[in-house]
Structures are given as C-alpha cells and as structure tokens.
C-alpha cells in the first residue's frame, strides 16, 4: 500500500502528485522567506497534514482500513522528507544549535579526561562494565557502530530504528557476556541510561539534539507508544546525562585549575616574603658591621686624642 501510494505521490501527472508538486513549491517559497525557523517548520507540518487530508479524500475507502492514517502519513513522509531533508535539518539545527554545541563541548571534556571516557567514568554499574567483544575496539562497540549511522539516514523512522538497534546491541552484549553464567542479570532502564550515554560519547554525532528534535516531530502516534517511543525517550535522557556530566567535569577541572593557581600564588608570595626577610637580615648584618666599625673608629680617635693630650702635658 505504501509503495503504491508513493508512486502516485511522486507522479506529477497524477492528481496527488500534482498536489505534492505545488506543496513543495510553496514550501520552497517559505524556506526562502524571512520568517523564524520555528514558523517555517510549523508551515511544513501544516503542509503535510493538508496532503494527508487530500489523500484520504481522494480514496474515501481508506477510512475503512485499520491504521489507514498511519500508512498515509508514512507514505507522505517517505515521499516528501527525502526531497526536503537538507532544508529541514538546517532549520532544526538553527533551533537547537546551542544544545548541540553544549553537547559537543561536553563530549570533548569527557574524552579529555585521564584515561578518556570509560564505563566507570560514565557511572555504569560494575556488573555492566563488560569487556569488548571480539572485533570491537571498545565495550559495546557494535552499539556505538549502529549509532554512528544515525546522521546518514534521512527518514525519521529509519533514524528511530537505528536508535532501536543500538538499544538491542547493548542488550545483546550483556546477554553474550553472561551467557555462560548462572547469574541472571537484567538490564533495567536505570542501567541502560549510562551505557547508552557512553555510546553517545563515542559515536560521531555532530548535531544529535537537532536529530532528536527532528525525530520527535515526525514520530507517528502509533510508534510513540511502542519500543520506538521508549528508545527515543532513552536518547533524550542520555543526551541530558552526557551534557550534565560534561559540564560537571569542566567545572571540576576549572576549580582544580583555580586552586592550583591560588596555591602557586601563595607559594610565590611566601617565597617572596622569605626572600625579603633574608634580605632584611642581610641588611641588618651590614648595618651592625658598620656600627661596630664606627664604634671601633671612635675608640681609636679617643685614644689618639688622649695621646695628644698627654704629649702636650709632657
């Protein structure tokens, strides 16, 4: 159904295809305008909703099918979003550039720690600090590899599926590690967050906050209540975790640097004080020697005076 509807939406000679063509032309005019990014994005969503209404009106029997609105929306997304993705992501990036910059700064800070970003530094529970599997550069390497592909996808459903695969790879790594153990280990939501955050730090994502906003706006209601909605919420919280840990680490580093600077300043000050005291002692010693010399000179003069007096008397 989706493929069939897509063909009609892409055919400019078909009624729906002609409507899509006009809508995209309208959208390009909006993009070139001076309105705010949020207004442009709102206009795009309105265009999609209008196209969904036109599609269902064109095929009234669609309303009789289960999940018809879901498949119509999915057809429109898979048809139109690849044609507008560059402009859309640019708008989302304009809206979220501060969060993206803060995330990137936090990643840099966490990777710059002594030993880099480790499972321990990301506060992963000890039982989930598992070693890398064969062929992996680091623990949970396959999950990181899945996450690396997020930016290469254009469709929000595909992006969410990558997040889903990342989650499943994390679960798979834990299951493989404890496969031969009698101990039953369950990966709960609280355990997943730091592991997912660790994967985020090691993945090469340039604007994950913009990607998240893009997925949030286009996730379909039917997907929101399932596993895709769960992993999307996990991504959202993990981005916050990475940012918070990075900011805290930066604050600790700045505080430590400040304390070292104050310590050096105090040390220099004390050293200068000791030097002045030694210099003062040296000057005091010189003054004492001069005083003694003067006293000796005075005594000699007195002796000479007495000698002269005795000579005169003689």
Instruction: Give the mean pLDDT of the chain.
Output: 86
| Residues in the chain, overall count | 314
Spatial separation of the C-alpha atoms in residues 84 and 95, rounded to whole Å: 17
Average of per-residue pLDDT across 42-65: 89
> Given this model, what pLDDT does residue 246 score?
93
State both tokens at 111.
Answer: 């990777």
Q: What is the pTM of this model?
A: 0.79
> Given this model, what pLDDT does residue 110 score?
94
156 near 164, Cβ under 8 Å? no
For the segment 279-314, what is each residue's pLDDT rounded down to a tens digit? 666 665 555 555 555 555 555 545 455 545 444 543
* Architecture of the CATH domain 1-250: Up-down Bundle (1.20)
Read off the pLDDT band of 128 (50, 70, 90).
very high
pLDDT above 80 (res 226) = yes
* Three-state DSSP string of the chain: CHHHHHHHHHCCCCHHHHHHHHHHHHHHHHHCCCCCHHHHHHHHHHHHHHHHHHHHHHCHHHHHCCCHHHHHHHHHHHHHHHHHHHHHHHHHHHHHHHHHHHHHHHHHHHHCCCCCCCCCCCCCCHHHCCCCCCCCCCCCHHHHHHHHCHHHCCCHHHHHHHHHHHHHHHHHHHHHHCCCCCCCCCCCHHHHHHHHHHHHHHCCCCCHHHHHHHHHHHCCHHHHCCHHHHHHHHHHHHHHHHHHHHHHHHHHHHHHHHHHHHHHHHHHHHHHHHHHHHHHHHHHHHHHHHHHHHHHHHHHHHHHHHHHHHHHHC
Non-local CB neighbours of 231 within 8 Å, separated by 6+ positions: 160, 163, 164, 166, 167
State both tokens at 74.
Answer: 């999915």
> Given this model, what pLDDT does residue 311 score?
46
Read off the pLDDT band of 222 (50, 70, 90).
confident
Spatial separation of the C-alpha atoms in residues 52 and 230, rounded to whole Å: 26
Segments making up each domain of the chain, as ranges: 1-250
Non-local CB neighbours of 222 within 8 Å, separated by 6+ positions: 67, 70
* 13 φψ region: left (φ > 0), alpha (ψ -120 to 50), beta (else): alpha
């Amino acid at each position: 159904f989706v493929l069939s509807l897509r063909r009609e939406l892409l055919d400019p000679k078909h009624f729906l295809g002609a409507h899509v063509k006009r809508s995209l032309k309208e959208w390009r005019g909006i993009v070139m305008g001076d309105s705010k990014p949020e207004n442009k994005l709102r206009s795009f969503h309105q265009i999609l909703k209008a196209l969904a209404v036109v599609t269902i009106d064109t095929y009234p029997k669609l309303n009789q099918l289960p999940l018809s609105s879901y498949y119509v929306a999915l057809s429109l997304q898979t048809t139109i979003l690849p044609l507008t993705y560059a402009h859309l992501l640019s708008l989302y990036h304009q809206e979220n550039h501060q969060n993206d910059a803060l995330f990137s700064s936090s990643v840099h800070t966490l990777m710059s720690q002594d030993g880099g970003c480790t499972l321990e530094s990301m506060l992963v529970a000890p039982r989930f600090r598992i070693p890398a599997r064969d062929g992996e550069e680091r623990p949970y390497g396959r999950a990181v590899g899945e996450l690396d592909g997020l930016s290469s996808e254009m469709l929000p459903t595909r992006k969410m599926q990558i997040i889903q695969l990342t989650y499943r790879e994390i679960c798979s790594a834990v299951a493989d590690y404890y496969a031969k153990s009698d101990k039953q280990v369950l990966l709960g939501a609280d355990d997943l967050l730091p592991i997912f955050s660790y994967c985020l730090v090691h993945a090469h994502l340039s604007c994950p906050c913009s990607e998240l906003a893009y997925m949030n706006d286009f996730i379909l209601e039917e997907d929101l209540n399932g596993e895709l909605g769960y992993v999307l919420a996990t991504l959202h919280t993990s981005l916050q975790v990475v940012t918070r840990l990075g900011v805290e680490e930066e604050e600790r580093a700045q505080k430590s640097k400040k304390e070292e600077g104050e310590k050096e300043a105090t040390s220099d000050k004390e050293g200068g004080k000791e030097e002045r005291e030694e210099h003062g002692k040296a000057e005091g010693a010189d003054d004492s020697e001069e005083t003694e010399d003067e006293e000796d000179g005075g005594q000699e003069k007195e002796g000479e005076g007495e000698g002269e007096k005795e000579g005169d008397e003689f």
